[in-house]
């Protein structure tokens, strides 16, 4: 009975790890896609000052 309880905890940790990996992947993709645009925006603002 105790063995099954430990497996359920491991499954929960695995699910959290998968969600964190998915969120990290989305953040990395957004930075890659939107990063250059934001960098250009800041460069334009600094050029105006």
Rounded alpha-carbon distances, angstroms, from residue 35 to 5, 10, 14, 44: 44, 36, 30, 14
Question: How would you write the pLDDT of the chain (49 residues) with one tens digit per residue?
Answer: 555 555 566 678 889 999 999 999 999 999 999 999 988 998 999 898 8
End-to-end distance of the chain based on CA atoms, in angstroms? 69
Rounded CA gap, 10 and 8, in Å? 5
Count of helices and strands (H, E) across the chain: 1, 0
Please tell me whether the overall predicted TM-score, pTM, comes out greater than 0.75 for this model. no
């Amino acid at each position: 009975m105790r063995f099954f309880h430990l497996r359920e905890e491991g499954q929960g940790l695995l699910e959290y790890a998968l969600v964190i990996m998915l969120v990290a992947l989305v953040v990395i993709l957004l930075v890659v896609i939107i990063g250059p645009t934001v960098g250009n925006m800041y460069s334009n603002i600094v050029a105006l000052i």
